[in-house]
Protein backbone atom coordinates (compact mmCIF):
# COMPACT_ATOMS: atom_id res chain seq x y z
CA UNK A 1 0.00 0.00 0.00
CA UNK A 2 1.22 3.50 -0.80
CA UNK A 3 0.59 6.35 1.60
CA UNK A 4 1.18 10.03 0.84
CA UNK A 5 2.54 12.12 3.70
CA UNK A 6 2.85 15.92 3.26
CA UNK A 7 6.33 17.00 4.37
CA UNK A 8 8.39 20.13 5.03
CA UNK A 9 11.46 18.82 3.19
CA UNK A 10 12.48 16.20 0.64
CA UNK A 11 14.52 14.11 3.12
CA UNK A 12 12.66 10.84 2.56
CA UNK A 13 11.91 8.85 5.73
CA UNK A 14 13.56 11.55 7.86
CA UNK A 15 11.37 14.38 6.50
CA UNK A 16 9.19 16.12 9.08
CA UNK A 17 5.44 15.94 8.54
CA UNK A 18 3.86 19.23 7.43
CA UNK A 19 0.77 20.34 9.35
CA UNK A 20 -1.62 20.82 6.44
CA UNK A 21 -1.99 18.71 3.31
CA UNK A 22 -2.61 21.19 0.49
CA UNK A 23 0.03 23.74 1.40
CA UNK A 24 2.86 21.28 2.07
CA UNK A 25 6.06 21.92 0.10
CA UNK A 26 6.48 18.20 -0.66
CA UNK A 27 4.50 14.97 -0.76
CA UNK A 28 6.45 11.92 0.36
CA UNK A 29 4.97 8.66 -0.86
CA UNK A 30 5.83 5.74 1.39
CA UNK A 31 5.29 2.15 0.22
CA UNK A 32 4.30 0.05 3.24
CA UNK A 33 5.11 -3.17 1.36
CA UNK A 34 8.79 -2.49 0.75
CA UNK A 35 9.65 0.69 2.71
CA UNK A 36 10.60 2.69 -0.38
CA UNK A 37 9.90 6.42 -0.69
CA UNK A 38 9.29 8.82 -3.55
CA UNK A 39 9.21 12.59 -3.04
CA UNK A 40 7.06 14.88 -5.17
CA UNK A 41 7.27 18.68 -5.19
CA UNK A 42 3.84 20.19 -4.51
CA UNK A 43 3.57 22.62 -7.40
CA UNK A 44 0.09 23.64 -6.17
CA UNK A 45 1.39 24.62 -2.72
CA UNK A 46 0.34 28.28 -3.00
CA UNK A 47 -3.27 27.78 -4.11
CA UNK A 48 -6.21 29.96 -3.09
CA UNK A 49 -8.20 28.69 -0.10
CA UNK A 50 -10.53 25.91 -1.23
CA UNK A 51 -8.77 25.48 -4.58
CA UNK A 52 -6.45 22.58 -3.71
CA UNK A 53 -6.03 20.08 -6.56
CA UNK A 54 -4.57 17.03 -4.81
CA UNK A 55 -5.31 14.52 -7.52
CA UNK A 56 -3.15 16.43 -10.01
CA UNK A 57 -0.05 15.91 -7.86
CA UNK A 58 -0.84 12.28 -7.02
CA UNK A 59 -2.05 11.13 -10.44
CA UNK A 60 -0.46 7.90 -11.56
CA UNK A 61 1.36 7.34 -8.25
CA UNK A 62 -0.89 4.52 -6.98
CA UNK A 63 -1.56 6.26 -3.66
CA UNK A 64 -4.13 4.49 -1.46
CA UNK A 65 -4.16 6.86 1.53
CA UNK A 66 -3.03 10.29 2.70
CA UNK A 67 -1.78 10.68 6.27
CA UNK A 68 -1.65 14.33 7.31
CA UNK A 69 -1.96 16.69 10.25
CA UNK A 70 -4.99 18.27 8.63
CA UNK A 71 -6.79 18.85 5.36
CA UNK A 72 -9.69 20.95 4.16
CA UNK A 73 -13.06 19.49 3.26
CA UNK A 74 -12.56 20.19 -0.45
CA UNK A 75 -9.27 18.30 -0.59
CA UNK A 76 -10.72 15.40 1.40
CA UNK A 77 -13.72 15.21 -0.88
CA UNK A 78 -11.53 15.21 -4.01
CA UNK A 79 -9.20 12.57 -2.55
CA UNK A 80 -12.12 10.37 -1.48
CA UNK A 81 -13.67 10.67 -4.95
CA UNK A 82 -10.32 9.45 -6.32
CA UNK A 83 -10.47 6.39 -4.04
CA UNK A 84 -7.97 7.76 -1.49
CA UNK A 85 -8.80 7.75 2.24
CA UNK A 86 -7.40 10.47 4.49
CA UNK A 87 -6.05 9.91 8.02
CA UNK A 88 -4.85 12.25 10.78
CA UNK A 89 -1.12 11.96 11.55
CA UNK A 90 0.84 12.69 14.65
CA UNK A 91 3.77 15.06 14.36
CA UNK A 92 7.14 13.52 13.61
CA UNK A 93 8.93 12.10 10.61
CA UNK A 94 7.71 10.06 7.66
CA UNK A 95 9.10 6.95 9.41
CA UNK A 96 7.09 7.81 12.56
CA UNK A 97 3.88 8.34 10.61
CA UNK A 98 4.38 5.18 8.55
CA UNK A 99 4.74 3.16 11.76
CA UNK A 100 1.63 4.81 13.19
CA UNK A 101 -0.33 4.07 10.01
CA UNK A 102 0.68 0.43 9.80
CA UNK A 103 -0.30 -0.07 13.46
CA UNK A 104 -3.87 0.85 12.47
CA UNK A 105 -4.30 3.27 15.37
CA UNK A 106 -5.03 6.48 13.51
CA UNK A 107 -8.24 8.36 12.90
CA UNK A 108 -9.76 8.70 9.45
CA UNK A 109 -10.56 12.31 8.52
CA UNK A 110 -13.88 12.90 6.81
CA UNK A 111 -15.43 15.99 5.29
CA UNK A 112 -17.25 16.42 8.63
CA UNK A 113 -14.08 16.69 10.75
CA UNK A 114 -11.90 18.48 8.19
CA UNK A 115 -9.95 21.68 8.81
CA UNK A 116 -11.66 24.98 8.14
CA UNK A 117 -8.39 26.95 7.79
CA UNK A 118 -4.80 26.34 6.65
CA UNK A 119 -3.55 26.63 10.24
CA UNK A 120 -5.46 23.53 11.35
CA UNK A 121 -3.45 20.87 13.18
Whether 29 is in a domain gets the answer yes
Residue 93 belongs to a domain with what CATH number? 3.30.420.130
What integer pLDDT is reported at residue 19 of this predicted model?
84
pTM: 0.84
Beta bridge partners of residue 93, listed in sequence order: 16
What integer pLDDT is reported at residue 112 of this predicted model?
65
In degrees and rounded to multiples of 5, residue 112 shows phi and psi of -75, -25
Whether 34 is in a domain gets the answer yes
CB 25 within 8 A of CB 18: yes
Which residues lie closer than 8 Å to 34 by C-beta, 6 or more apart? none
Q: How many domains is the chain partitioned into structurally?
A: 1
pLDDT digits (tens, 9 = 90+) for 24-83: 899 999 999 999 999 998 876 544 444 455 567 788 899 999 998 888 888 888 889 889
Degrees to nearest 5, angle at CA 8 with 5 and 14? 70
Whether 14 is in a domain gets the answer yes
Whether 83 is in a domain gets the answer yes
Whether 119 is in a domain gets the answer no
Amino acid sequence: MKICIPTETNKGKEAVVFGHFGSAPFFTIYDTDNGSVEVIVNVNQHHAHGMCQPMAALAGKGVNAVVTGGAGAGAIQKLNQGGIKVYRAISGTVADVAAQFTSGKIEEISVNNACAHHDCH
